[in-house]
Amino acid sequence: MATAIHGDGDMLTIDDLCRRFRCTRYKIYRMMREDNLPFVQFGGRRLIRRDSLEAWIDARESNNGVEADGDDE
């Protein structure tokens, strides 16, 4: 079953996440690599579905609280 492409407002860029979480691009890439932050790759761009991000956050809250080490670099 194919996944429908959402409207532009439903996909977030790395820069969108940096603004939302007030952190560096390095931190976002590290979260993708180490914390399994879900993303899709289109060419050289990594995009995150808004609903996938919210589910990822919800899972962390319900499992063991929001994980934040405060280390942006």
Reported as a single tens digit per residue, the pLDDT across 2-49 is 444 444 569 999 999 999 999 999 999 999 999 889 999 989 999 999
Domain 9-64 indexed as CATH 3.30.1380: no
Predicted model pTM: 0.68
In angstroms, rounded to a whole number, what is the distance separating the alpha carbons of residues 35 and 49? Answer: 16
11 to 17, 44, 45, 62: CA distances (angstroms): 11, 15, 12, 24
